[in-house]
Copies of this chain bind each other. A is one copy, B any other.
Amino acid sequence: MQTPTLRDVARAAGVHAATASRALNPETRNLVNAQTARRVLRAAESLGYRPNPIARSLKTARSHTVGLVIPDLTNPLFPPIVRGIEDTLGPAGYSALIVNTDSDPARERSQIASLRSRQVEGLIVATARLEHPLLAELRREGVRIVLVNRRTDGLDVPSVGPDDAVGISLAVRHLVELGHREFVHLAGPLDTSTGLNRARAFQSALREHGLDEDPARLVACEHWSEEGGAAALRRALDSPVPFTAVVAGNDLIALGCYDVFAERGIACPEEVSVVGFNGMPFLDKLRPPLTTVAIPHHQVGLEAGRMLLESVKEPDRPARSVLLPPSLAVRGSTAPPAPGPVAGAR
């Protein structure tokens, strides 16, 4: 198809191509007489002229593209974060290229190499582990990185995520107020900051409320998934530690508990209460509706996009971390503990 060129626009506006180019670029428009600029813009519009950002990106070394590295888009945590990121990038003229790593380091490495070969101006990374040599290596090579949801030890880059400690303490306090004294925490993988921070916050909360801190009350899941949560709850139930309340590392882990409740005939919340973390969609329609620590994920995405754009504009600005405040959504999966013997004791 025949598309109009810069030269066509210049001819229609009766100006030199260089003038048309300056008028069409928002960053150089003020170098051109205002009336001339308007004439060029009108000519461009009536011809249906579209600037070629690929040609422009070669000149300016700017692709106006950002790489978005997530574990798996089908985890309901990520779509609202991705929308938030795109809602910030879009109006700024940037687009995101999304890759899914399935939490596989080899896949992550090749996906990031592919993003870099497309000249992305930075990476927004939601797959960070506490030890993450690849991210440190990218950082040393000067790649702009914003971490979302999770952080990496010793990596001086901006990050945005939920305030894990506040979230867990809200969950534990709610359960204590209902009368629970015997807790377990089904933690996310402890090689992630979210897994570790929530586990530490759980232990602090037990201490604060003067509750039993037996290390067996903390069971780590292999994955942030229903299967991971189900396996961890089975281990907790088969351990000698009694409990009436489960603080799950995230909502998927809590959903895995529902499967085990069905499997072993445990009534929730009558015998065991459960609290999730994240506030993914449709939790209010579950059986029972899941009490959860709700995180404003769209806002997490907005902030992450904003931070990346800032790091493009001001590369020397010191890194900062944004923690977004959680709130507790109380629903049917939490209730006062029943008198009598408790789960794990059978």
User: Which A residues have a C-beta under 8 Å from some C-beta of B?
Assistant: 1, 50-55, 57-58, 63, 72-74, 76, 78-80, 82-83, 86, 90, 95-100, 111, 113-114, 116-119, 141-142, 255, 258, 281-282, 285-289
Contacts and interface: CB of A to CB of B under 8 A. Distances in A.
A100 B119 contact: no
Nearest to A50: B117
A67 B132 CA distance: 32
B82 A281 contact: no
Contacts of A97: 95-97
Chain A contact residues: over half helix, strand or loop, or mixed? mixed
A111 B87 CA distance: 12
Given A74-B83, A82-B98, 6 more contacts: A1-B141, A50-B113, A76-B282, A90-B99, A282-B282, A285-B286
Report, nearest first, the 4 A-B pairs whose CB atoms are least far apart.
A287-B287, A1-B142, A74-B79, A50-B117
Contact of A286 (B99, B100, B142, B286): B286
A114 B93 CA distance: 8
| Most chain B C-beta atoms within 10 Å of own C-beta, residue among A80, A116, A282, A287 | A282
Nearest to A119: B54
A83 B90 contact: no
A76 B73 contact: no
Contacts of A82: 73, 98
B83 A116 contact: no
A73 B74 CA distance: 10
A80 B90 contact: no
Contact of A281 (B53, B63, B73, B74): B74
A24 to B, nearest CB: 12
A342 B248 CA distance: 42
Contacts of A119: 52-54
